[in-house]
Chains A and B, each alone.
Chain A
Amino acid sequence: MTHRFKTRLEQAHERGDYEALLNLIPYAKLIGIECTRLGDELLFRLPANKDNIGNPILPALHGGVIAGFMELSAALYLLVFTGAPGIPKIIDFSLDYLRAGQFRDTYAKCQVWRQGRRVANVAITAWQSTAAEPIATARAHFKIEEQSRP
């Protein structure tokens, strides 16, 4: 990991402000993901953005954007909470779409169900109106870079 990236990550976590970190990831800026710390939790937000529309009839967010938002949320969550030395590499991603993503802000929360030495399993829930009515649920496996021993 580059020094700049590691410094930004440490600063971000200290201040609970992840904007500078997200600015280093072009795809994060493209879709407009935001991240805030609530107590010991991370809440991810994807503000409504015309560039993220996939279905012009409804209009609804592109399913791929919802997927990208959730996948990126999971990677960031792991990056912040596991002290992984770099952005974790995704192995697989499985997503259930439960409701159409309306043209409005979307939120996501993550839960690590299992973190082994090499692989982590993360569940992601995305919602718009209320967390009790998710628009999509997903789970992902990530490869964790093993920390070099001191």
Chain B
Amino acid sequence: MTENPLLERATRFVSALRHCQVLGITAHQASEEGITLIMPYATHLVGDPQSGVIHGGALTSLMDTACGMATLCVLPEFEVCPTLDLRVDYMHPAAPHKPVYGFAQCYRVTTDVIFTRGFAFQDDPQQPIAHVVGTFMRMGKRLRGTQGLGSAIKGEQA
């Protein structure tokens, strides 16, 4: 086990999201600076059968999750933060047969809204395949059902 409690929380969080399991997304790195997820290449993610390039939707799922999970890095306690909006700029197609990394960070936290940004890359973080910005709504930690998931993510017995 790692000695990074934030990465452990992120790992538990991502494993609770069914669609992320389907996409094979796992937590790669986490710190106060932001979070990096990894999505391995898989043939069922392909959007263009002629080139073998994965579909933008899989990339958007990765980046929506990365931006949403970046909120874990800045909030003292788990809060459900639904996405308000998301914008993805595609720099170039993801090369087939290589994993995609998704990095995201929060650049402003207010009482109601969290502003996040990030990018997806393969070999070189300096050559992103997509840039992303997203805003998230803070629902607070008292939302019904939240505490169970919150404790599960912290690693407490529910």
- Closest approach, in angstroms, between the C-beta of B17 and any C-beta of chain A? 5
What's the interface size class on A, roughly? 35 or more
- Closest approach, in angstroms, between the C-beta of A126 and any C-beta of chain B? 13
Partner of A72, one of B22, B45, B55, B63: B55
Interface of A is mostly: mixed
A114 within 8 Å of B (CB atoms): no
B84 contacts across to A, CB distance below 8 A: 96-97
Pairwise interchain contact A56-B16, C-beta atoms closer than 8 A? yes
Pairwise interchain contact A26-B50, C-beta atoms closer than 8 A? no
Given contacts A86-B50, A92-B88, contact A54 B17 (CB under 8 A): yes
B141 within 8 Å of A (CB atoms): no
- Stretch among A36-44, A63-71, A104-112 lining the B interface: A63-71
B151 within 8 Å of A (CB atoms): no
- Closest approach, in angstroms, between the C-beta of B57 and any C-beta of chain A? 2
Pairwise interchain contact A90-B16, C-beta atoms closer than 8 A? no
Nearest-neighbor residue (CB-CB) of A50 within chain B: B18
Cα A56 to Cα B145 in complex, Å, equals 10
Nearest-neighbor residue (CB-CB) of A86 within chain B: B50
A52 within 8 Å of B (CB atoms): yes
Nearest-neighbor residue (CB-CB) of B18 within chain A: A53
Nearest-neighbor residue (CB-CB) of B64 within chain A: A64
- Could you write out 23 A-B pairs with CB less than 8 Å apart? A1-B50, A24-B49, A26-B46, A31-B57, A51-B19, A54-B18, A55-B17, A63-B86, A64-B57, A65-B57, A67-B60, A71-B56, A72-B47, A72-B55, A91-B90, A92-B88, A93-B56, A93-B60, A93-B90, A94-B86, A94-B87, A96-B85, A97-B83
Chain B interfacial positions (CB closer than 8 Å to A) = 16-20, 22, 43-50, 54-58, 60-65, 68, 80, 82-90, 93, 143, 145-146, 148-149
Given contacts A28-B47, A55-B82, A86-B48, 16 further A-B pairs with CB under 8 A are A26-B46, A27-B47, A52-B19, A54-B18, A54-B20, A56-B16, A57-B149, A64-B57, A67-B61, A72-B57, A91-B90, A92-B88, A93-B88, A95-B86, A96-B84, A97-B83
